[in-house]
Each structure stands twice: as C-alpha cells, then as structure tokens.
Amino acid sequence: MKLIVKVFPEITIKSRPVRKRFIRQLVKNIRAVLRDLDPELRIEGEWDNLELETAVSDPRTLRDLIERLSCTPGIAHFLEVHEYPLGDFDDVVEKCKAHFGPRLPGRVFAVRCKRAGKHSFSSMELERHVGSQLRQQCEAAGISLKAPEVEVRLEVRHDRLFIIDRQHPGLGGYPLGALEQTLVLMSGGFDSTVAAWQIMRRGMLTHFCFFNLGGRAHELGVMEVAHYLWKKYGSSHRVLFISVPFEEVLGEILEKVDDSHMGVVLKRMMLRASTQIAERLHIDALVTGEAISQVSSQTLPNLSVIDSATDMLVLRPLLAAHKQDIIDTAEAIGSAAFARHMPEYCGVISKSPTTKAKRFRVEHEEKQFDMAVLERALANTRQVAIDRVIDELGKDLPVEEVAEALAGQVVLDIRHPDASEDAPLELGGVEVQPLPFYAINNRFKELDANRQYLLYCDKGVMSRLHAHHLMSEGHQNVRVYRPASQKLEAGSSK
C-alpha cells in the first residue's frame, strides 16, 4: 500500500531550516509509531508531503497503521494512492477507468487534479479530457464540479501519476518533539485530558503530573487515562508519569485554611509543587485544564492569585472553551469514557468559596500552613516512564490467577470496548460480561456479591491491578482469568 502524507499547513509557511527540521521530526515520529507494524516501512520526503510505502497486506495491521497515522501530530491528512508512470492523456483515462469505472454508471461525477513539476499541459486540460472520456465510456449521468456523487481524484508529480483511492483525516498540529516540553497537571477528568491532548496535538511533549487526593483507586484511574492518551497520540516519545501524594497537604488545608479560600490555596500548592518538579526536569511550562469561571477557583481574580504562586509559564488551552465543547472533544478523542468515572476530589473543599480572592488574604491564610507538609509530599513523589506505568503498578501483586473458567463463574472482559469488539471473548458454557476497566471501580459493587468473578484483559496486567484493588476494598469474590495461551505468549516475548 502506498500513502501520501500531507503535512500540517502551518509547517509549510515556516522558514526553510525550520520546515526541514519539522519534516525530519515527523519522519522520525512516524517510524517510531509504526515500527512494530512494519519494520521495513519506506518513507521518502518532499517539500510539502511524505510518501510511505508498506508491503504489509494483513487487513487488521493496515487498519492499525491507518489509525496510528490519523493520531500522529503534524499530519493534516493522508491519501491511499495507486502509483503509475505518467503516460499520455489516454493512458491516464485508462488508469482512472480501471479504478473508478464501476462507480460511475448513472452517477454524476467530477475529476480533480493536482499537479507538481513542469508539463506541457495544465491541470484543467487533463481534468477536461479525463472527464469527457469517462462520461462517454462509463455511462455516467453527467459531470458536476459543485455537487458530484463521485470524485475522481488524481495527482501528477513530475513523471508519476497517483490515482487517489481514499483520504484519511490527520490530527494536524506540529510533530511531537519539534517544540518544547510541558508538564500537565492531570486529574483525569474531562478538562485536564482534553488540555493534555490539545498540547500534544500542538507538538509539545507532554509529561503528566498527578496530585493524589483519593488514594489508590484515583491514582490507578489517572494512570490509565494518561497511558491511553500517550499510547494513542504521543507514543513516538517517552514521557513521564509523576504522582505526588497530596492527601496530607489537603488535610493541612482543611485544618488550617478558611473555608472560602481552600480551593485557591490548594491550586497554589499544586502550582508550587509542579514548578519544582518541572524545574528539576528542565520542563518549560505547566499546563492546566482550567476554563474561565467554570468553577469558583477559575474566575479571573482567582486565576491571577493562583498564578502568583509561581514564576513559571502556565498554559491554559481551554481558557475560553465551553464545557459542552470540552465534553464533545473528550468523546472524540476517547477520554470521555475514563472521565465519566473519575472522582473530582477538588470539589470536596468548595465550601462557600470566594470568587474574588485577594492576594494579601490568601498569603495570610497560607501563613497558617506548615510548608514542611508540602516538602514531604515532594520528597515522596514517584515518577515512572509512561510506557512502563501499568507494568510497574502490576508487579508482584498477590492475586490468584486461573487458567480455566468454570461454569457458574462470570468472566468480566475489562478491555477497552474497541478491543472487545475487534476480538470478542467467547467461552463455551461460561458467562462473559463486558465491563471496561475505567468503569469497574464504580460498577463492581452493583454486581451480585454471591457470584465469583474472573477479570480478563489482553496481557493479564490490567486485570491483576483491578483485582488487587477490588480485594483491598473487601471484595473477596475476584480472581484473574489468564488462559494458558496468554502465559505462553508472555513467555515467548521476554
């Protein structure tokens, strides 16, 4: 299969050195993202596009390849094409007829041609000739440039002809690694996940910083959505997941700070901590999911007071976004399913909150706060490479695994719905229920407590994590279903 990748238009208006650097970075990223699907992938670059060629023919692998390209920052769109040496006009007609002929009888169509290089004809002349011949030879109903039912698209590049079979949308933006690094303050809800995605799409490396206010379940949920965003949109680069234990900080605020200023003080403590982390890691800016006046701490006076806690640049890509637009974006990028089941712990301290905080009053409240508590939180911060985050969590958890499910037991398929749909789990005589991992913490308590449940996922890691958490919550009717074939695959990959 041959693909032509069209780069994000803003890249094409850069100076020659910057443009070349961005294109080189995009090539590196594409190779990194697709390496496991096709190690022999060929990529050749031109000034405004890249040509990719793969010998892979397996439909599922090709579908994965297209999906990954669609989620790679820096790509405006890409085309599936058939390549031929450029012949005369009649030869072009024959090639177009071979690909589009069956679609044209009784339908209105248009011919679209783009051309690069020096030729003795114009794009319009080629369009007219091909269009008139296809209409006569393929029994088409007519030609309409404004509202065609079928578009016959072709590109002429120097001495080559490309017949365009299909166009796929890209993510846009700049290639990851072409710009600076950021640290996203990640709660796992709608706002922070969409903010992270927007920064990634713009080409900035995005590390994730989570302030844990809700214990193991909350941390696990945020790790999962951060891993999802990285895997889908940023896997060309390794980034960090940083977890800061903030329960003691929250407790100190609840005890020492006036109710009306708790939310603002909590945000300032988060900025102080994340600033120190970012400076240590040589990261250039912080990112939050705040939007103007969405909640009390996000009024302009409060944001101004919050920002005064740090000298580091704080980016807020959602500042003027409406909540419904944010939710719609989360649905489109796949983070909404996680966000719906994510607890919002910041809200528990919003008791009669001020919307017009004054800096002198906030600083007065903070004088009661023991800063040693914040230092302890920073000292106990844990960081792990995002590609290892799930594996690290899953190490050495004392959870019973079974290789065979028995009648009467229920296997809970906790994979992402897309994975369950692509490869359904079918076990003769055993009930299988889909229950995605991002919903299991909330919905497990609704299940029949008298039945035995076996959690299943592709590699056995996610299921082990969630089984361990459920057992720690007092549910003793949980095991992990890990068939023998899965263990063999794991052993052969080591």
Length of the chain measured in residues: 494
- Whole-angstrom distance, CA of residue 149 vs CA of residue 107: 6
Look at residues 213, 351, 62, 93 and name the one whose alpha carbon lies nearest to residue 54.
62
Residue 289, annotated ligand binder? yes
Please answer whether residues 113 and 155 qualify as being in contact, where contact means their C-beta atoms are separated by less than 8 angstroms.
yes
- Concerning whether 113 is annotated as a catalytic residue, the answer is no
Residue 186, annotated ligand binder? yes
- Whole-angstrom distance, CA of residue 4 vs CA of residue 25: 17
Contacts for 216 with CB less than 8 Å, ≥ 6 apart: 469, 472
Look at residues 192, 199, 190 and name the one whose alpha carbon lies nearest to residue 171.
199
How many other CB atoms are found less than 10 A from the CB of residue 251? 12
Look at residues 143, 159, 154, 381 and name the one whose alpha carbon lies nearest to residue 281.
381
R_g over Cα of the chain: 27
DSSP letter for each residue of 379-444: HT-EEEEGGGHHHHHTTT----EESS--TT-EEEE-S-HHHHHHS----TTSEEEE--TTTHHHHG
Dihedral sign (CA 201, 202, 206, 211): negative
Give the pairing of strands 160-169 and 75-85: antiparallel
Residue 267, annotated ligand binder? yes
Q: Check 71, 96, 113, 457 and give the catalytic one.
A: 457
Please answer whether residues 186 and 274 qualify as being in contact, where contact means their C-beta atoms are separated by less than 8 angstroms.
no
Residue 185, annotated ligand binder? yes
> Which residues are marked as active site?
457
Q: Which residues are annotated as a binding site for ATP?
A: 185-186, 267, 289, 298
Q: Which residues are annotated as a binding site?
A: 185-186, 267, 289, 298
